[in-house]
Amino acid sequence: LVSRKRKPEDTIVNINGEAIGSGEPTFVFGPCAVESYEQVAAVAASIQSKGLKMIRGGAYKPRTSPYDFQGLGLEGLKILKQISKEFGLAVVSEIVTPSHLDEALDHIDVIQIGARNMQNFELLKAAGATNKPVLLKRGLAATIDEFINAAEYIISKGNDQIILCERGIRTYEKATRNTLDISAVPILKQETHLPVFVDVTHSTGRRDLLLPCAKAAIAIGADGVMAEVHPDPAVALSDAQQQMSIPQFDEFYETLQKFMKSYEIH
């Protein structure tokens, strides 16, 4: 059902007045993890001032070590809901198990399914049975075909509001956290009718590569870019290496806008 052969026209995912997949790139910024109301509010104010419509932030953090910060859970979702109301932003947040889904639906606007859960088939089916948009990340070591099949699990339950997100794959290369598979973007757009995002934060793991990779994503036809922003990245409870500070975010976004104008993108 996700195949372009079955449905030649692009699927548009409508979120908070933005038509994702309609040709104009959209953006999802926000902290890696929800740490406090004040922390998320500082980022939300900056996002809102740019006229953007979405914010991200993890309440359930799938960390490599069980001793690392695991997220605020439901308390984090409550903070996000409050932020959403106050700043008029749609909230994108990762859900890691079907058992959290019901409660989460009440707090968030977009269900993120993370790389580590791309083949959590029960979660995919459960998200497919909701009427919320789903942002599906590519697995750490998933082929494009496996990624497309994961999206198929969601759509097979009736939900076609799916955004695919390339977030880098594991290779032998150590210069970056993962290897951004930029060619996955046009392949996914050829093979499926779904919008495709690029997460420049988790793919590169390097702040100095966020801008060039975002430019590459837009130039190659991505429908949107995701990147992490934190009011004080040095003290962030997760992903301190790669989140942008708010001044860095301002510069990143301004440069990207200029780049898009110069190439007459949008």
Q: Interface with Mn ion includes 34 (CB under 5 A)?
A: no
Paired sense of beta strands 13-15 and 18-20, if any: antiparallel
Q: What does the alpha-carbon distance between residue 249 and residue 185 come to, in Å, rounded to a whole number?
A: 24
Give the E-state strand segments of 114-223 in sequence order.
134-137, 162-166, 196-199
Tokens (6 digits) for 69: 């910060």
- The distance of closest approach from Cβ of residue 40 to ligand PEP in the complex, given in angstroms and rounded to an integer, is 14
With CB under 5 A as the contact rule, which of the stretches 64-72, 80-88, 164-172, 235-243 interacts with Mn ion? 235-243
Q: Which residue has the tokens 């019901």?
A: 102
- The distance of closest approach from Cβ of residue 130 to Mn ion in the complex, given in angstroms and rounded to an integer, is 24
* DSSP letter string, 137-149: EPPTT--HHHHHH
Tokens (6 digits) for 251: 């510069």
35 versus 239: smaller Cβ distance to Mn ion: 239
- The distance of closest approach from Cβ of residue 115 to ligand PEP in the complex, given in angstroms and rounded to an integer, is 4
Q: What does the alpha-carbon distance between residue 258 and residue 266 come to, in Å, rounded to a whole number?
A: 12
Instruction: Pick from 58, 195, 224, 231 the residue near ligand PEP by CB under 6 A.
Output: 58
Q: What does the alpha-carbon distance between residue 22 and residue 50 come to, in Å, rounded to a whole number?
A: 20
Q: Interface with Mn ion includes 32 (CB under 5 A)?
A: yes
Task: Give me the 59-78 binding string for ligand PEP, x by CB under 6 A, dash otherwise.
Answer: ---x----------------
Instruction: Pick from 43, 110, 115, 209 the residue near ligand PEP by CB under 6 A.
Output: 115
159 versus 178: smaller Cβ distance to ligand PEP: 178
3-state class (DSSP) for residue 265: coil
Of 51, 100, 39, 54, the closest CA to residue 227 belongs to: 54
3-state class (DSSP) for residue 30: strand
Q: Indicate which of Mn ion, ligand PEP, none lies near residue 115 (CB less than 5 to 8 Å, by partner kind).
A: ligand PEP
Instruction: Pick from 53, 107, 193, 202 the residue near ligand PEP by CB under 6 A.
Output: 202
With CB under 5 A as the contact rule, which of the stretches 25-33, 65-73, 87-95, 134-142 interacts with Mn ion? 25-33
Q: What is the footprint of ligand PEP within residues 204-263 (CB under 6 A)? A: none
Tokens (6 digits) for 55: 């914010």
Number of residues lying near ligand PEP (CB under 6 A): 11
